[in-house]
Structure 1
Amino acid sequence: MLKIFITLFIIINIAGFYLMKIDKNKAKNHQYRISENTLWLVAIFFGAIGMTLGMKTFRHKTKHVQFKYGLPVLSFLEIGLLLYAFNILS
Structure 2
Amino acid sequence: MSLKDYTVLVFILWNVFVFITYGVDKQKAKSGHWRIPEKTLLWESILLGGVGALLGGKFFHHKTLKWYFKVCWYLGIIIDIAFVYWLLVIWH
TM-score exceeds 0.5: yes
1:68-89 deviations in Å (ceiling 9; x for gaps): 2320232123212321232111
Q: Counterpart of 2:63?
A: 61
Task: Give structure 1 regions of 4+ aligned residues with deviation exceeding 6 angstroms.
Answer: none
1:3-60 deviations in Å (ceiling 9; x for gaps): 1110110111000000000000111111111001111222222111111100000110
Q: Distance in 2 between matches of 1:41 and 1:35?
A: 10
Q: Counterpart of 1:30?
A: 32
Q: Cα–Cα, structure 1 residues 69 and 41, in superposed 2: closer, same or farther, change >3 Å?
A: closer
Q: Counterpart of 1:46?
A: 48
Query: Which region of structure 1 is more displaced relative to structure 2, 54-63 or 66-75?
Result: 66-75
TM-score, with structure 2 as normaliser: 0.88
Query: How many percent identity over aligned positions?
Result: 31
CA RMSD of aligned residues (A): 1.3
Structure 1, unmatched stretches of 5+, are none
Residue identity matched to 1:66: Y
